[in-house]
A and B are shown apart, each in its own frame.
Chain A
């Protein structure tokens, strides 16, 4: 089955700096890669996703890049703000509505 590895497990940045979180996956059949943000005591919330026919996608301060050859994808957050502090999860699946395999999460802390 699919295996998703996520790094780093914790990340602290100064407000206004950029944050990068990286994930690798094992199943070459995976073609859908969402990123979720989870705040304490709440369920995961989708922040951005990318499909395998696209190499990069951007939404305001958030961007995701995908390298299918190397089987890795990354989340980039620019101009970080304290409210970006949360746990971020990457995930992979063989389709947008198929089951997701999650990484182990990254605790992002944005220091004011």
Chain B
């Protein structure tokens, strides 16, 4: 059983550098979500895709953040010109997108530390 897979699990980068995270959702899940979680807080919604279409973006997603899901399968989240405030765990999740009886499954997260 392959769940939501995220890579890398940990990333340390210098302020001002760009970083990219990859997410592979559960097979055949057409909805994919990105959340951000800081220490001691619950996850906060960033954006989601239905297949390859990005349908919603949170105000938290500044211009330095960009997410793609080019073929409706895996997704990437890129952060440009990282700032210390970007340090957090970036969670990817997926669901089958059915109207009823559906669950959002989370990956193990990608930890970002900006120094």
Interface residues of A (CB under 8 A from B): 4, 6, 34, 36, 41-46, 49, 89, 91, 95-97, 99-105
Contacts and interface: CB of A to CB of B under 8 A. Distances in A.
B101 interface: yes
Interface centre among A4, A6, A41, A97 (most CB of B within 10 A): A97
B107 A91 contact: no
A99 B91 contact: no
A105 B101 CA distance: 24
A34 B103 contact: yes
Interface of B: 4, 31, 33, 40-45, 48, 56, 91, 95-109
Given A43-B91, A46-B103, A100 B45 contact: yes
Given A97-B96, A99-B33, A89 B106 contact: no
Contacts of B44: 102
A20 B108 CA distance: 26
A96 B103 contact: yes
Contacts of A41: 108
A89 B41 CA distance: 9
Contact of B45 (A6, A101, A103): A101
Contact of B41 (A36, A99, A104): A104
A97 B104 contact: yes
Contacts, number: 60
Contact of A96 (B102, B106, B108): B102
A6 to B, nearest CB: 8
A34 B104 contact: yes
A87 B61 CA distance: 26
B42 A46 contact: no
A32 to B, nearest CB: 9
B105 A97 contact: no
A102 B36 CA distance: 11
Contacts of B33: 99
B95 A44 contact: no
B42 A91 contact: yes
Contacts of B99: 95-97
